[in-house]
Amino acid sequence: MALSSGVKNMLLASFFFSLMQICVKYLPHIPAIEIVFFRSLVSLVISYFFLKSGKVDPFGSNKKWLILRGLVGAFALILFFLTVQEMPLASAVTFQFLSPVFTAILGVYLLKEKVTPKQYIYFALAFFGVALIKGFDSRVSIGLAILGVVSAFFSGLAYNIIRKIGSSEHPLVIVLYFPLVTLPITAIISLFIWVTPTYYDWLLLLLVGIFTQLAQYFMTLSYQNSKVAGVAIVKYVGILYALVFGYVLFDETMPAMSLLGIVLVLSGVVLNVRTKDEADK
C-alpha cells in the first residue's frame, strides 16, 4: 500500500529531528537557550532566502496565529533541548512524544474535535508510563520530568495552531515566524549566560539549525495536508532512533522498568491516535 504524502513528510521530519537531537546531545556545555538562538538564526536566513526566491510574502496574513505559534514553539523547543542535554536521549524523546495527548485534548477547544471516553484511558496509560520512567531512572529528576511534560504540552499547542492556520499560509511562512519571535528573546537572555563555542561547536550548532529547519518544514507540510491524528502516529519511529543512538553514541542504557514505561507511553499515545483517527472517518 502506497504511503500518503502526509506520512512520507512525517517520516522525513522524524529522521531530521533525530539528527538534530544527536547534535544537541553533543553540546551539553552550551546553554539550551543559546542553542535555540543559533538554531533560530540559521532558520531565519534559510527561510527568508527561499521565501524571497519563491516570491512569497514572508509575513503572511494570519499574523496573530503565526506569532502565537512562534512563541509556544520557542518555549517547547527550549525545554526540549534542556531535557535532551540532561536526560538519557530515549527518555527525553519519550516525554516529547506525549505531545499528541495534548494535541488531542487541546484540539477539543481549538479545533472543536471530540475526545472519546476510551481516549482518556489511553491518556492515563501514557502518563503512568511517564511515572515509571521517572520512578525507576535516577537520571530523570522530578524537575526534568516536569520540564519534559510542559514541553510536550506546548508542542501539542503548536501543532493545533498549525492545523488551525491550515493551508492558507506557505509552510515556510509558518516556519519563519519561529525565528522572528524567538531571536529577540533568546538573544537578550544569551547575553547573560553566554558560552563561547569552539570550532567543533560551531559546526554542530549549524547542523542543529539545518536539521531542525528541514524537520520543521516537512512536519508543517504533513500537518497542513493531513488530519493531526492521522500523521502524528508516524513520529514514534523516532523513539527507535533515540534508543539506538543513545546506546551506540552515548553509551546510554535503560532500566527494565523505564523501558516498560516507554512502551506504556507509546502504547497509550498510539492507541489514542488510532482511536481518534477511526472516530474521524
pLDDT band at 281 (very low <50, low <70, confident <90, very high): low
pLDDT of 111 above 80: no
pLDDT at 225: 61
Asked whether residue 172 carries a pLDDT value surpassing 50, the answer given is yes
206: alpha, beta or left? (left if phi > 0; alpha if psi -120 to 50): alpha
List pLDDT tens digits, range 119-165: 888 888 888 988 888 777 888 889 999 999 999 999 999 988 888 88
What pLDDT shows up at residue 32?
94
- Residue bearing the bigger pLDDT, 166 or 68: 68
Distance of CA 52 to the CA centre of its chain: 27
Task: Dihedral sign for Cα 51, 220, 13, 208, please.
Answer: positive
- Say if residue 18 is exposed, middle or buried (CB neighbours under 10 Å; 0-12, 13-18, 19+): buried
Q: What value does the mean pLDDT of the chain take?
A: 85
DSSP-derived letter for residue 26 is T
What's the pLDDT tens digit per position in 187-216? 999 999 999 999 999 999 999 989 988 887
Decide: 44 and 182 in contact? Cβ < 8 Å.
no
- Range scoring the smallest mean pLDDT among 175-184, 223-232, 268-277: 223-232
For residue 32, how many other CB atoms are within 10 A of its CB? Answer: 22
For residue 1, what pLDDT band results from cuts at 50, 70 and 90?
A: very low
Q: What mean pLDDT is predicted for residues 244-251?
A: 89
Give me the mean pLDDT over the 238-252 stretch.
86
230 or 115: which leads in pLDDT: 115
Q: Residue 212: which residues within 8 A CB-CB, separation 6 or more?
A: 16, 17, 20, 39, 43
Span 60-85, average pLDDT? 90
Confidence of residue 43 (pLDDT cuts 50, 70, 90): confident
pLDDT tens per residue, range 3-41: 566 777 888 888 898 999 999 999 999 999 999 999 999
**Residue 186 pLDDT:** 92
Task: Work out the pLDDT band at 220, boundaries 50, 70, 90.
Answer: confident
What is the reported pLDDT for 276?
67
